[in-house]
Structure formats: C-alpha cells, structure tokens
Amino acid sequence: MKALTFGLTLVRHGETQYNKEGLLQGQLIDAPLSESGLQQAEAAGCYLKHVLFSNVFVSDMLRARQTAETIMKHNTSCLGLQAVWDPLLKEKSFGTAEGRRVQDLREMAKAAGQNFLDFTPPEGETQEQVKERVKEFVEKMLQKIGAEHWQERGVEETSPPVPAETSPVEGTADDGVRGVPVHALVVTHGALMRVALRFFVDELHCSVPPGSSKEHVFSLSPNTGLCRFIITVRKEEDTFKLSGIRCVFVHREDHVQQ
C-alpha cells in the first residue's frame, strides 16, 4: 500500500510586550512582536535556514505572521512558497480575561474550584472548542499536503508507517526530516500548541520523545519554541487518512539560548 510521510514543525510566535508583562492576549489583542520577539524570530529563522519546507501554515494574527515571515526570509526553500494564513490556528480565546494578568486567570480558576489549564473564563473558548479547531486544521492540512505531494512523493510502504527513528536525533535543526522532502512549517500560539500536543498524544497515539515526560510535552512552549513530528498518511478513495504520527522533539529553544 502506498503512503506519504512528511515532517511537521510547530513554532510558537516570538515574544510580545504582553508576554513580557505576563498579560493574556488571546484573540482580541493583536499585538506585534516586541524587540526581543523580533530577535527570537530572527534566531529561529537562522536556526532553520537550511531545513527544507514544502508548505507553510500560519495563524492570521500579527505576532504569528511576523514570526513566520522572519523565518521564511532566511530559508531558500520558502522563497517560492505562499504561506496559508489560517484563522483555525488563532490563539485560544480567553474571553473577559484578555488583557488581564495570567495570575488573574489562575485566581479566577481557583475561585471556581477548577484546574488552571482547564478553566474557561466567561466568553472564552473551552479546551474542547480549541481541540475541535486543531482537529479541523489537521484534517485540512492532510488533504492539502496529500493533494499536492501524493503523486510525486507517495511510495509503497516497506516498513511500519512511522518507524521508531527515521534518522537519529542529534540536536540539529534537521532532526527527523533529513531526506524528507515534504515538510510543513506551522506558526501558531502557546495555548493552542498545548491543546494540539495533548490531542496528538492522547487521541492520535503519538509517541513521546525518549526521555520526555508527558508533563513536559504538555507544558507551555517558550516563545519561538519548536516541536517536530513525523506524519504518515494513506489514500483511501479520494481522501487522505492519517496512519501514524511520531514526535521527534518538543519545545526546543536552542536558537534563543546561544
């Protein structure tokens, strides 16, 4: 049976002034990157400059678009690519808590007797609603990548859909995607990434990188933190279906620590 294997790299946007001050942005506050955030985006772009990308998907919010544009300008494989600005990748809505301190949200959750990460402030999105957006985006991405690359890159499977290691993880920018010509760059937001990773692990049965705990995998990614996955799809009639997913690394921030 034929299959298509591709890389998926998730990137959280660079820092904004709201991030720096510990304030919630959500969807209504469309803040630009701070000076530090621009530097982080530049560092991420330099780190990824030799990594091949075939597709780029980006939240339509300013902080994500600025981060993606900065990464893309450093990468020659992105020169002819048209980024897809997708509202499905927007940050979680925090409703009436947007613009307030993250600490205020923690206190609201405590007062309601709920876990901070699962708490939904008034007029905000629930975790389930965010997950539905993630699921819709993943489905859309699979169909687009399948339609664009299946004819040229779909190959007969000679091994399990997602092998334990396609290439060793050596701490380099191309870990997991060396020799993988189809690779999607997705630039989005911290709370959405956290929901996406939980969905991948809990519902899509994505493996966790060796040495990583679920607590770490489900934690908030740092600004311009990188997470990478290897995904395999098969074609059933005219639809592309996920057949396997493996996590290569999570929350990598080597580029901002140098």
Question: Is 63 annotated for ligand binding?
Answer: yes
Alpha carbons within 13 angstroms on the beta-carbon side of residue 232 total: 19
Separation between Cα atoms, residue 247 and residue 200, nearest integer Å = 9
Question: Is 47 annotated for ligand binding?
Answer: no
DSSP 141-186: HHHHHHHHHHHHH-EE--S-SS-S-SS---SSTTTTTTT---EEEE
- Single out the catalytic residue among 42, 50, 69, 91: 91
One-letter amino acid of 229: F
Q: Tokens 């334990």: give the residue.
A: 164
Separation between Cα atoms, residue 249 and residue 12, nearest integer Å = 14
Question: Is 251 annotated for ligand binding?
Answer: no
91 an active-site residue? yes
Question: Is 223 annotated for ligand binding?
Answer: no
Q: Provide the token pair at 243.
A: 């057949």
- Single out the catalytic residue among 13, 189, 251, 255: 13
Question: Is 128 annotated for ligand binding?
Answer: no
216 an active-site residue? no
Question: Is 211 annotated for ligand binding?
Answer: no
Question: Is 12 annotated for ligand binding?
Answer: yes
For the annotated catalytic residues, the residue numbers are 13, 91
Annotated binding site: 12-19, 63
Annotated binding site for substrate: 12-19, 63
